[in-house]
């Protein structure tokens, strides 16, 4: 009977991935960040954590260890009860007030700026990485492009055209975008060209990979409920 109970305990520990002998880290007066933090409260861009003696078995928490390793205890993407919590491990570095965290799973790399830190409370704000900043530039430009393309209602297909846009990492355009010929087409197509060049440079800079299939070129378009629909 004792052997059976021991086997069940081992299986339970393995399934939940929370049986650990180093969840408890003493408070380090020289570095208040060291230790376990729980009960995140999100307020816009900031997150507030409470200090605890060890990570809970059945709730979210993060752990900064003295050896530079980082543990995030969560239930992943699936939130269907009963929740099964597990540990995601990685590394952390502190440079002034910037905490850089690297994990094997998504998100692989992210950065927090410490807004305030006491022995009982940690308040952080997410900092954009250089890659995220470059991607934001791309997305802002693409928003400008789509707003121009969608600024006119589609009522007559002959007043519309389409153009390839973007640059896949494997080569070729990302897709095709319809636009009204009544807008300033010179400005619009210049933005399309700029976006293509920026995305090509982004892919090369950050070693982005993509599938290599070539998107089909539309044979035409038609107007449906005021919107252009590409036809293949």
Rg (CA), the chain: 25
Alpha-carbon distance 11 to 17, whole Å? 10
Predicted TM-score (pTM) of this structure: 0.57
Quick one: which of 171, 167, 172, 109 has its CA closest to 142? 167
User: Which ranges of the chain does DSSP label H, i.e. alpha helix?
Assistant: 2-16, 130-149, 185-205
**85 close to 71: Cβ distance less than 8 angstroms:** no
DSSP state of 25: -
> Is pLDDT of 92 > 90?
yes
> Over the stretch 35-50, which tens digit does the pLDDT of each residue have?
999 999 999 889 999 9
108, HSE (Cβ side, Cα atoms, 13 Å): 3
For residue 171, give every residue at least 6 positions away whose Cβ sits within 8 Å of its Cβ, in sequence order, or none. 212
| SS3 assignment, position 99 | strand
Q: Please give the distance of CA 32 from its chain centroid, rounded to a whole number.
A: 27
Quick one: which of 47, 22, 18, 45 has its CA closest to 34? 22
In this prediction, residue 147 carries a pLDDT of: 95
**188 close to 209: Cβ distance less than 8 angstroms:** no
In this prediction, residue 16 carries a pLDDT of: 38
Structure tokens belonging to residue 65: 């260890």
> Is pLDDT of 21 > 60?
no
| SS3 assignment, position 190 | helix
> Is pLDDT of 66 > 90?
yes
Partners of 101 in beta bridges: 92, 110
> Over the stretch 105-116, which tens digit does the pLDDT of each residue have?
766 778 999 999
**25 close to 36: Cβ distance less than 8 angstroms:** yes
**119 close to 129: Cβ distance less than 8 angstroms:** no
Alpha-carbon distance 18 to 20, whole Å? 6
For residue 44, give every residue at least 6 positions away whose Cβ sits within 8 Å of its Cβ, in sequence order, or none. none
In this prediction, residue 75 carries a pLDDT of: 78
| HEC letters along 63-100 | EECCCCEEEEEECCCCCCCCCCCEEEEEEEEEECCEEE
Alpha-carbon distance 149 to 56, whole Å? 51
């Amino acid at each position: 009977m004792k052997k059976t109970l021991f086997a069940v305990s081992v299986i339970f520990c393995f399934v939940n991935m929370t049986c650990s002998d180093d969840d408890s880290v003493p408070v380090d007066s020289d570095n208040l960040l060291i230790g376990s933090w729980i009960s995140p409260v999100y307020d816009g861009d900031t997150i507030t954590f409470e200090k605890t003696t060890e990570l809970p078995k059945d709730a979210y928490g993060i752990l900064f260890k003295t050896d530079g390793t980082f543990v995030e205890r969560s239930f992943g993407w699936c939130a269907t009860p009963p929740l099964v919590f597990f540990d995601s491990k990685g590394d952390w570095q502190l440079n002034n007030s910037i905490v850089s965290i690297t994990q094997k799973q998504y998100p692989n790399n992210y950065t927090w700026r410490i807004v305030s830190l006491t022995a009982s409370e940690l308040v952080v704000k997410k900092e954009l990485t250089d890659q995220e900043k470059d991607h934001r530039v791309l997305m802002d430009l693409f928003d400008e492009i789509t707003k121009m393309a969608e600024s006119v209602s589609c009522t007559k297909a002959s007043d519309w055209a389409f153009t390839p846009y973007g640059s896949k990492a494997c080569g070729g355009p990302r897709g095709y975008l319809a636009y009204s010929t009544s807008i300033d087409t010179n400005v619009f197509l210049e933005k399309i060209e700029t976006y293509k060049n920026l995305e090509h440079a982004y892919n090369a800079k950050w070693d982005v990979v993509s599938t290599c299939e070539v998107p089909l070129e539309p044979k035409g378009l038609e107007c449906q409920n005021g919107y252009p629909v590409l036809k293949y």
